[in-house]
Amino acid sequence: MQLMASYLAGRPDIASADRVARGEILWDNIIVLVLLIISGHVRFTEGKQAETGLLAAAALFTVLLEHRRRFTPHPRFVAVLGVFAAIQIWQAASFRYVPLVTFMGFFARLYVAYAAVSLVRDFPRVYVNVMVFVCLASLCFYIPDQVCQAVGLDFRAPFDSLHRWIGARLEHRYDIGLYNFQVKYPHRNSGFFWEPGAFAGFALVALVFLRLARARISSREDRIALLLFSLSILTTFSTMGYIVLPIALSLHMTEVIGVSRKQMQTAVLCLCLLPAAWFSTAAVWKLEFLSTKIASELSHVEMRQFTAQGGRLASFFFHEPYIRARPVAGWGRNLRTYLALDPYLERNPPAGNGVLRFVHEMGLAGLFTYLLATAGSIHALTRHRMMETAVILGVIVLTLQGEEFLTGALYLSFMFLGQEP
């Protein structure tokens, strides 16, 4: 190492190039962290903070694109932009209403998603790096908090001033910036995200990206990251996380437990089918945190309480008439058209199912475009391995069943993977 250091010291061009490379790696991690924060941090999911964060990210990424001379748009981005522009022009024409701010917000998210992928070399690998940091940070708060609860101590009290200074003021949450403590369900780990289910979704994406990045990291790093992501998902107590985790882990069977590719494919098929069958039986009621949650959602449906507190079942019954009425192009994102059939809901529509919400907003044309572009990206990253592509795409779609991730830029960026610099 000393010999190499002295050699580089004698070659200013190489030493300079090495410093530039290290600087770019640091910026790659910052870019992905910024993308993750504006897509999932509890402070940046809605309201003025969300708009401010999005505009700041767009400005930062534009400066970096100009600095790195990567401003030429990729054909796939142009095609996706064209499709969504056509959908929203059709919506404006059919409703005779042009919600300019809403349109600009969607295209700003699309631009930020594309810019981040264009800037970052090896996006899956960098995302894994960032999520390792996020998961470690979450466990540093979650584990001491659970221990203190068990022995009757208040771990959160020392953070009161931090919460008052920078924390988001939200019901059932105690946000301190680096971590979002749950109040109503204190045993659940949400990291710095808006809720534990969101943390589970982002960690599941890290698990499948770990498979894509395996060739570029050591076996030891791979196993540590695999354990860290799995443990983080388990601590969220997320229904979606528990269902999808075995499917995501199936991608790692070949290397971790030494099964053949044929055996892995059979296992993946079983893992895709079994959760749906298992959760449709009475066995689910043996898990208290699941049974209570599902019973609550059923009561909201029975009383037709289609609000944000209604849960995913209420979300389905809310979206269904909208999708049936306008299946192709959807109703748009502006609340005036989005809630056209339920104006009494005002600003409190049901939340939960990301796929149904996206079809509600952009129609089946928008969903098909998203799935086609994302499948193409993943297919390129897996080097055209069909089974692996199908499992990764399946994990992404299943996480969308639990959370509305497509309202943020990160999940939109999956359409542009495989075209990194």
What integer pLDDT is reported at residue 295 of this predicted model?
Answer: 52
What letter does residue 181 receive in the DSSP assignment?
Answer: E
Helices (H) and strands (E) in the chain, counts: 18, 2
pLDDT value for 84: 97
Q: In whole numbers, what is the pLDDT of the chain averaged over residues?
A: 82
Structure tokens at 374: 């994302």
Pairs from 90-97 (Cβ < 8 Å, separation ≥ 24): 90/329, 91/329, 91/330, 91/331, 91/332, 91/337, 92/332, 94/329, 95/332, 95/337, 97/334, 97/336, 97/337
Residue with structure tokens 């399946």? Answer: 394
Alpha helix positions (H), 168-256: 196-213, 219-236, 239-249, 253-256
Query: How many percent of the chain have pLDDT more than 90?
Result: 51
Mean pLDDT value across residues 99-115: 94
Higher pLDDT, 221 or 7: 221
**pLDDT attached to residue 219:** 85
Range among 10-14, 45-49, 279-283, 382-386 rated most confident: 382-386
Range picked from 6-15, 39-48, 373-382 for highest mean pLDDT: 373-382
Residue range 140-153: average pLDDT? 94
- As given in the structure block, the two tokens for residue 54 are 């999005």
Q: How far apart are CA 326 and CA 335, in angstroms?
A: 16
> Which CA distances in Å does 27 have to 20, 21, 33, 121, 242?
10, 10, 10, 10, 33
Rounded average pLDDT over 299-306: 49
Six-digit token string for 47: 């309201």
Residue 299 has pLDDT above 60, yes or no: no
Q: Which of 52-61, 89-98, 163-172, 256-265 has the lowest mean pLDDT?
A: 256-265
pLDDT of residue 311: 60
Question: CB atoms < 10 A from the CB of 104, how many?
Answer: 10
Mean pLDDT of 234-243: 93
Query: What per-residue confidence (pLDDT) applies to 348?
Result: 64
Does pLDDT of 20 surpass 60?
no
Report the pLDDT value the prediction gives residue 256, as an integer from 0 to 100. Answer: 55
| Confidence check: pLDDT of 229 > 90 | yes
Cα 176 from Cα 41, distance rounded (Å): 11
pTM of the model: 0.84
Do 404 and 353 touch, CB atoms closer than 8 A? yes
- Is pLDDT of 48 > 60? yes
**195's torsion region: left (phi>0), alpha (psi -120 to 50) or beta?**
beta
**pLDDT value of position 398:** 94
Of 288 and 397, more confident: 397
Q: Cα(252)–Cα(250) distance, rounded to whole angstroms?
A: 5
Query: pLDDT at position 43, please?
Result: 87
User: Tell me, what's the pLDDT at 261?
Assistant: 55
- Residue 369 clears pLDDT 80, i.e. is over it: yes
Q: Tell me the residue length of the chain.
A: 421
Beta-bridge partners for 193: 41
Highest mean pLDDT among 81-85, 304-308, 333-337: 81-85
- Tokens representing residue 131 in the block: 């999520």
CB atoms within 10 A of CB 69: 7
User: Is the confidence at residue 167, as pLDDT, over 70?
Assistant: no
pLDDT digits (tens, 9 = 90+) for 124-144: 999 999 999 999 999 999 999
**CA–CA dist 409, 108 (Å, integer):** 9
Whether the Cβ atoms of residue 320 and residue 283 lie closer than 8 Å to each other: no
pLDDT band of 254, cuts 50, 70, 90: low
Tokens at 283, concatenated: 């066995």
pLDDT at site 16:
43
**pLDDT greater than 90 at residue 277:** no
Range from 104-113, 217-226, 295-304, 344-353 that averages highest in pLDDT: 104-113
Tell me the pLDDT band of 347, cut-offs 50, 70 and 90: low
Percentage of the chain with pLDDT > 70? 77
**How many angstroms separate the CA atoms of 164 and 372, rounded?**
44
Rounded to 5°, the CA angle 381-387-393 comes to 60
